[in-house]
Structure 1
Amino acid sequence: MTTRRGFLVSLFAAGAGAAAPSLGWAAAGSPAYLAAAKEPDGGFALFGLSADGAETLRVPLPARGHAGAGHPSRPEAVAFARRPGAFALVLDCAAGAVMHRLTPPGGRQFNGHGVYDPTGELLFTSEQVADGSAGRIGVWDVADGYVRLDEFATGGIGPHDLRLMPEGATLVVANGGIETDPTDRTKLNVESMTPSLAYLSLDGALQERVDLGPDLAQSSIRHLALRDDGLVAFAMQWEGPTGAAVPLLGLHRRGAAPVLASAPLADELAMQGYAGSVAWAGDGTEVAISSPKGGRLHRFGPDGVFLGAVSRADVCGLAPRGTGLLASDGLGGLIAVEAGAPAALGRMDRAWDNHIVAL
């Protein structure tokens, strides 16, 4: 089998993927976003949404979806199961059909997130070893029908989100630091967690790792958002004693110490130690985290200064929209947030899952 390094060298040397396919996302209604949801009959589907919140496509899913990844040029998307998951579906969003069903190797589990490389020739998936929760990144050859090419370590345990840095040559991974039971998600190491932010080359070399230190060792790093200049925002979930007012947002620029962003005490407590999603506003002037448990989202400046809160029951999904943000909730609502002012875009008869993926 072709090695990962050899494949990458040949891929970029030949300029693979440089020619844009003739069939683009316009064939699927030109969605601006993808989001999974539960429907009134108990079924699940992945939806495409316009910038104004209108439905542009629907593809059924066999079980609850979590996040997804959109191909950079073709109307293809990968829908990931909620972690720990056993499926990832490659969807033809123009035809509304399943193209491929990805299954991790024996002893592995998908962890809900993935990302394409800039050419769309490779897919990287967040995974863990079922026994012990050691982190792995699966590498899939898209051009060869999503055949698994290789895998490499994430530099931590319990990885969740991963993103491609703006320069297109580095992955950043949120290692949650939690060992979980492979069958029922029971957390096995809450007293000895090791959350970290890891930067990896596309062939798996660990370039930089950021640890939070003993005071925040029980702050699981879960989700990521990137600004165009490479500033990483990471959302955390507190696994320590209840009632603690700990920061749930961190900001990191490579080579520097992380900045931990805190809200005023009452606001921090209202989040109930849980940040479900994170996103930069479209103009990059602020970043938000959401808490479905607390029914609110918090806004911060790029320096970590708290800008304010927006109340919304069961809010979780976040994505850039225009110069502001798009948010979704478990009651079917879609909300635009501009400079802290929410405006309803509509409500649909479904329960949106945790994430909105911007295309």
Structure 2
Amino acid sequence: MPSRRGFLAGLLASSVTPTATWADVGAPAYLSAGKDALGLFVMAGLSAVGEVLFRHPLPDRGHAASAHPTRPEAVAFARRPGRFADVIDCRSGAQLARLEPPEGHHFYGHGVFSPEGEVLYTTENDYTRGAGVIGVWNAGDYRRIGQFSSGGIGPHEMLLRRDAPGLVVANGGIETHPESGRAKLNIPFMRPNLSYLSLSGEIQHQMELPADLHKNSIRHIAVRSDGAVGFAMQWQGDLGADVPIVGLHQPGSAPRLMAEDDPRLRNLNGYGGSIAFSGDETALAVTSPRGGVVQVVDCTSGALHAEHALSDVCGLAPLKDGFLVSTGTGIMAQIGTEVTTLAQAPLAWDNHLIALSSAASVPRQP
């Protein structure tokens, strides 16, 4: 049997062994997927000014990521209809686990940890039933421990609510099947919604768009500190129509469609790639890689008060002063009264910038 002295020494050692944190990898402010000059796919951690702090390989194209709230671990999700989600130790780049959805499911590119980091939730397509599913995983060993309905079809981005415990899910409404590639199978009948769910899957609120906008797929979301949800849409109808691409919603109320009468909406080319609140939460921005623009709307008036041209722009996250955006040409830029390039990397940044905190502080550039 171990001696009392040995037992106490072991207890003391375990009590002082430091727990790894995000500070051990340079305290990144953002995560993003990308592709390097050799065509290899990576997930990178970025500083508050968009500089690459670390990069680790992915087996295929990534879409978005989810950062554990305390441990320097990130889950990098495959682009739809991918079936991998790699859990990466951001200190070493080691693959801690590879999540694979059940047979008949694929991931939708997004996921989120519970507030304490004990559970990971993933958006999935059960294509055998044409139904949206939220997968539930134990974040200690990354075993799948359950699932529940997303409240709709085609769940894409999902975030934690900030006004109450729970999740908010952007159900895009589009049915797909891997045998049809990325083809959209139900456009005439699609019904996108925002679903507000408890952490155990009960539907608490749902919001649907007016019937004439049922082809406006709700894809990406941002959550304000008061619980309001900004949402970005992707229009599946005639591109000759000027349709709103940005909305604002509070549970239990009707959605507010932003800048819906502004002719500059057509510059988005019917496509919202990412959405974010500004650091002071007074504005919402949306990116459009198809239109090559970033548009900023005022949350109070709903008016479009700024538009900036930027080629292949998609990633978007809040800054204390404005927004940070990323492009497929490797640029990280600050969006304020003008566009200021902060960093340039030999990487084609993919769709999303994932903030590790609600807002990052970036010094104003001259």
TM-score, length of structure 1 as denominator length = 0.92
C-alpha separation in 2, matches of 1:60 and 1:168: 36
- Structural mapping, 1:1-359, within 5 Å: 22-143=19-140, 145-167=141-163, 169-183=165-179, 184-262=181-259, 265-303=262-300, 304-338=302-336, 340-359=337-356
Confirm or deny: 8 A CA contact 1:281 1:287 kept in the other structure: yes
Distance 1:232 1:266 in 2: 24
Using the alignment, how far apart are the partners of 1:158 and 1:132 within structure 2? 12
1:178–1:106 CA distance, 2 compared to 1 (3 A)? same
Query: 2: CA distance between counterparts of 1:322 and 1:193?
Result: 37
> Given that residues 163 and 225 in structure 2 are in contact (C-alpha distance below 8 angstroms), is that contact kept between their aligned partners in structure 1?
no
The letter for the 1-side match of 2:217 is: S
Question: Matched residue of 1:31: which SS?
Answer: coil
SS of the residue 2:20 aligns to: coil
Task: Quickly say closer, same or farther: Cα 1:168–1:28, change in 2 above 3 A.
Answer: farther
Q: Deviations over 1:46-103 (max 9, x none)?
A: 0000001111111100000000000000100000000111000000001111100000
SS at match of 1:270: helix
* Alpha-carbon shift at residue 126 of structure 1 (Å): 0.4
Whole-angstrom CA distance in 2 between matches of 1:264 and 1:201: 35
Deviations 1:145-199 (A, max 9, x none): 1000100001100110000011461100000000112230111111111100000
- Tell me the secondary structure at the aligned position of residue 178 of structure 2: coil
Could you say which residue in structure 1 is the equivalent of 2:360?
A: none
| Offset at residue 282 of structure 1 (A) | 1.1
Q: Which runs of 5+ in 1 are unaligned?
A: 1-20
Report how far residue 233 of structure 1 moved.
0.2
Moved segments of 4+, more than 4 Å: none
> Rg bigger for which structure?
2
Q: State how far apart, in whole Å, the 2-side matches of 1:272 and 1:52 are.
A: 29
Number of matched pairs: 338
- Aligned letter for 1:197? L
Shift of 1:213: 2.1
Structure 1 residue 265 displacement after superposition: 4.2
**Cα RMSD between the aligned structures?**
1.3
Q: TM-score, normalised by structure 2?
A: 0.90
Q: What is the DSSP-based 3-state SS (H/G/I as helix, E as strand, rest coil) of the residue aligned with 1:173?
A: strand
Letter in 2 for 1:41: L
Give the partner amino acid of 1:47.
Answer: A
Q: CA deviation at 1:254?
A: 1.2
Displacement of 1:323 after TM fit? 2.5
Q: Which amino acid aligns with 2:289?
A: P
For 1:346 and 1:243, the matched residues in 2 are separated by 36
Distance 1:131 1:187 in 2: 15
The answer to whether the 8 Å contact 2:262/2:304 transfers is no
* Partner residue, 1:14: none
Instruction: Give me the whole-angstrom Cα distance separating, in 1, the residues matched to 2:226 and 2:74.
Output: 26
Sequence identity, in percent?
49
Which runs of 5 or more residues in structure 2 are unaligned? 1-17, 357-366
Aligned to 2:3: none
Higher strand share: 1
Residue aligning to 2:6: none
CA distance in 2, matches of 1:190, 1:158: 12
Structure 1 distance, partners of 2:265, 2:305, is 13
Offset of residue 268 of structure 1: 1.0
Letter paired with 1:55: V
- Following the alignment from structure 1 to structure 2, what is the Cα–Cα distance between the partners of residues 270 and 174? 23
